[in-house]
Amino acid sequence: MAFPITRHRRLRRTAAMRSIVRETHLTVDDFIYPLFVTHGENVKTEISSMPGVYQLSIDLLKAEIDAVAASGIQAVLLFGLPATKDAIGTSAYEDDGIVQQATRAIKEWAPNLLVVADTCLCEFTDHGHCGMIHHDPRTGNAEVDNDASLELLVKTAVSQAKAGADIIAPSNMMDGFVGAIRDGLDAAGFEMVPIMSYSVKYASAYYGPFREAAQSAPQFGDRKSYQMDPANVREALREAESDVLEGADMLMVKPALAYMDVIRLMKEQYDLPLVAYNVSAEYSMVKAAAANGWIDERAIVLETLTGMKRAGADLIITYHALDAARWLKGE
């Protein structure tokens, strides 16, 4: 029926009325909080382009983990800054690597907190790419060697699982990476460790601040030969389909804010849990605008995260997680 019989505003009249008909609910259980861990002692270095985000040595990490656990957040995502780098990212898969050390410490301090280990080589290679480099003898050009890289990524995943990681999250975008890691985990006795695949990871300008945080900028070229073209969406379905067939347990879209249509499409096509990564520049833009007094940071963050969930995300990786958890409690 039409107006005046139908009045849509009836269900918006009061806060209580709006609450009982609300379609999308954002909760602390939706958040995964990224952390950057580094070697040394008493290290707490703020990322200049990401106010409120720090590189932390393990001795100072406990206070952050205590805050996460107290907030009700269920999971953290670990990125490591190694003491040394080489051409094959050796420190990514060493038993005493920085991510492995941090994982063991977190599982000791907060056994019920889920540790998600980012599985990539870019932070650990001296060239900053996500795999091994070979030089094409025909052209002399340096290229990422997909298949040789898989062997190192499997070693990294198994090492992280041995250290106690609850979830392996490969972000390298090599062809066949999920299948290789699944086989490697199963062969090592970690068949119950799930894979959260960075299935749809775009070659995005939104990663800029992260490159500072993780010290992972490529030393030559870019990552467009293995990360996705931002103009493509049907390709996202092909990437996700491969990961599903290879045994992924969760799928991810990264970045989130400029790719809401991709999140919705993935939600409609697949029934696996879907993760959205609210990436570094998305965070930094909000922080910069808030610092200038141009926006209400709390309102913008909660609206943005709700939008990601409304688009189809079951989980959201976000640097806003601690603040958002507090705001959702009314603090």
List active site positions: 201, 254
Phi-psi region of 309 (alpha: psi -120 to 50; beta: other; left: phi over 0): alpha
- How crowded is residue 277: how many other Cβ atoms within 10 Å of its Cβ? 30
Q: Is the bond into 51 cis (omega within 30 degrees of 0)?
A: no
Cβ(146)–Cβ(109) under 8 Å? no
- Could you tell me the two tokens for 38? 């580094």
Nearest C-alpha neighbor of 99 from the set 111, 75, 116, 87: 116
Strand ranges inside the chain, DSSP E: 31-38, 44-46, 54-57, 75-81, 114-119, 133-135, 142-144, 167-170, 196-201, 250-254, 274-278, 315-318
- β-strand partners of 318: 278
